[in-house]
Amino acid sequence: MRVLVTGGAGYIGSHTVLLLLEEGHEVFVVDNFSNSSPESLRRVAALSGRAATLYQADLLDAESLNRVLGETKPDAVIHFAGLKAVGESVAKPLMYYRNNVTGTLNLLDAMELAGCRNLVFSSSATVYGECTELPLVETTQRSATNPYGRTKLHIEEMLEELAAADERWSIAALRYFNPVGAHESGRIGEDPQGIPNNLMPFVAQVAVGRRDKVNVFGGDYPTVDGTGVRDYIHVVDLAAGHLAALDYLAQRTGSFVWNLGTGEGSSVLEVIQAFARAADKDVPYQIVDRRPGDVAENYADPVKARLELGWKAERGLEQMVQDMWRWQEQNPYGFPDEQPESLPDEELNEQIRLAASKAATATDPTTNKN
Ligand code: NAD
Ligand code: WQD
């Protein structure tokens, strides 16, 4: 299948691109590198021995997007590109609505123009708002508590209305719970800019010595040990969920929604302890005030995805922290800094192809080189 991946250089995107390449799909990536670097795509090429084709473009640039879709003629699009920091969305709501909602509108227009009506969208468990009825099922009434969450909710509604209005569309909204971990090679992983907003990358940076201690937001929740409980999901399991959704959409039209979670919750202290074991390091922490807007506990009901997509998360917390630690230890400061916008697409694609062919040659038994 020819698959166009927006935001394919980012954390979840790069792991999904790797899986798509490994499964033999032809992959095209659109990214503006606002929160990523082309190094992830070079490493994906080195891991898979195959190259995705990169287009540096912003979803807000409708003309470029139309050109990319026209040139690549994808069978399906996986749409990761978006801004995702909750706190930043409160400070800069318009930036979030513009980037996430207008970016998605531009993408849908470009898809329509190119005659591609197959879409997998990155939604989020954030659309369950402050719901406390657990586990969270797909039919739970949606709400939002911040502009980021509202962009996801608006986009989900927009996609449902589109599929209802034009029966040629096949659309999946995947509601991720808390994605963590990294590819088992330790070559690709999450590379947050500045102070991490999320728990697991923060813990990883404490373990590697970049930060002193973890602030645990609240120790008096009605949970197993008083700290917040979440459904952490390994990013490689999450990537596999996208391929399962693509298969499902290939045979049906309409709009569909699935939770991608494990169905199991872990507390903040359980995460810190598991990480400390994996890294064989002390991970200092202190309990501080609750973070405004946090719920005590949430976890998915993952049954719908299992029954309809035949997908379920295979990796548990121990593997999540082990893989996350391997990535963090090998890349304490994430991917090396670079300014991709100074290089044209041809040059970056040449580098990606070179990384792929080196890897393919190294593993090709007919070359006697290894
Ligand atoms: P990420 O920031 O690592 O990846 C997003 C990618 O999109 C980046 O490479 C960024 O450069 C690109 N991008 C952003 N705006 C763009 C634009 N206008 N044009 C082109 N490229 C653009 O984030 P991620 O963690 O991989 O998340 C991917 C998607 O999953 C996002 O839509 C996010 O909201 C959603 N999601 C993430 C989480 C999470 O905790 N990581 C949870 C639920 C949902
Ligand atoms: C997990 C737990 C915190 C940091 C967020 C977004 C959500 C989705 C996933 C995109 C909570 C506690 C955290 C820290 C802590 N993203 N914590 N110290 O809040 O469940 O979800 O990311 O869609 O929309 O809201 O994830 O990793 O921030 O927090 O104690 O330094 O860890 O209170 O209990 P969250 P998180």
pLDDT digits (tens, 9 = 90+) for 73-132: 999 999 999 999 999 999 999 999 999 999 999 999 999 999 999 999 999 999 999 988
Q: Is 148 a catalytic residue?
A: yes
**Cα 70 to ligand 2 centre (Å):** 39
Question: Measuring from atom 4 of ligand 1, which residue has the nearest CA?
Answer: 10
Q: Percentage of the chain with pLDDT > 90? A: 95
The string of pLDDT tens digits covering residues 214-263 is 999 999 999 999 999 999 999 999 999 999 999 999 999 999 999 999 99
Hey, where are the domains in the chain? 2-334+346-365
**Quick one: which atom of ligand 2 is closest to the CA of 271?**
32
Q: How far apart, in whole angstroms, are the C-alpha atoms of residue 294 and residue 321?
A: 23
**Cα 40 to ligand 2 centre (Å):** 24
Question: Measuring from atom 33 of ligand 2, which residue has the nearest CA?
Answer: 217
Q: Which of the residue ranges 238-242, 317-321, 365-369 would you say has the lowest mean pLDDT? A: 365-369
Q: What is the pLDDT of residue 97?
A: 98
150 lines ligand 1 (CB under 6 A): no
SS3 call for 279 = helix
Q: What is the pLDDT of residue 364?
A: 67
The per-residue pLDDT of the chain, averaged, comes to: 96
Task: Tell me the H-state helices in the chain.
Answer: 11-22, 39-48, 62-72, 86-91, 93-96, 103-114, 147-165, 199-207, 235-250, 268-279, 303-309, 317-330, 345-363
Whose tokens are 């990537």? That residue is: 239
Do 320 and 264 touch, CB atoms closer than 8 A?
no
Give me the mean pLDDT over the 280-295 stretch.
96
In which band, very low, low, confident or very high, does the pLDDT at 267 lie, cut at 50, 70 and 90? very high
81 lines ligand 1 (CB under 6 A): yes
328 lines ligand 1 (CB under 6 A): no
The string of pLDDT tens digits covering residues 41-89 is 999 999 999 999 999 999 999 999 999 999 999 999 999 999 999 999 9
SS3 call for 145 = coil
- Nearest in space to 179 (alpha carbons), one of 64, 300, 94, 261: 261
**Cα 365 to ligand 2 centre (Å):** 46
Q: How far apart, in whole angstroms, are the C-alpha atoms of residue 138 and residue 176?
A: 12
The string of pLDDT tens digits covering residues 338-366 is 887 779 999 999 999 999 999 988 876 66
Q: What is the pLDDT of residue 132?
A: 85
In which band, very low, low, confident or very high, does the pLDDT at 309 lie, cut at 50, 70 and 90? very high
Q: What is the pLDDT of residue 359?
A: 93
**pLDDT above 70: residue 367:** no
Question: Measuring from atom 36 of ligand 2, which residue has the nearest CA?
Answer: 198
Burial class of residue 139, CB neighbours in 10 A (0-12, 13-18, 19+): exposed
Which ligand neighbours the alpha carbon of 215 most closely?
Answer: 2
Cross-strand partners of 76? 3
Whose tokens are 């290939």? That residue is: 250
**Cα 57 to ligand 2 centre (Å):** 30
Question: Measuring from atom 34 of ligand 1, which residue has the nearest CA?
Answer: 84
Q: What is the pLDDT of residue 339?
A: 80
Instruction: Provide the CATH number for the domain formed by 2-334+346-365 in this structure.
Output: 3.40.50.720
Q: What is the pLDDT of residue 370?
A: 39
**pLDDT above 60: residue 21:** yes
Exactly one of 128, 148, 176, 285 is catalytic; which is it? 148
Q: How far is CA 201 from CA 180, 181, 213, in A?
A: 8, 9, 12
**pLDDT above 60: residue 368:** no
In which band, very low, low, confident or very high, does the pLDDT at 198 lie, cut at 50, 70 and 90? very high
**Cα 58 to ligand 2 centre (Å):** 27
99 lines ligand 1 (CB under 6 A): yes
Q: Which of the residue ranges 133-147, 313-327, 334-348 would you say has the lowest mean pLDDT? A: 334-348
In which band, very low, low, confident or very high, does the pLDDT at 276 lie, cut at 50, 70 and 90? very high
In which band, very low, low, confident or very high, does the pLDDT at 369 lie, cut at 50, 70 and 90? very low
Whose tokens are 């082990």? That residue is: 322
**Cα 184 to ligand 2 centre (Å):** 23
**Quick one: which atom of ligand 2 is closest to the CA of 152?**
23
Residues with CB under 6 A from ligand 2: 84, 86, 124, 126, 178, 197-199, 202, 214-217, 228, 230, 268, 291, 294
149 lines ligand 1 (CB under 6 A): no
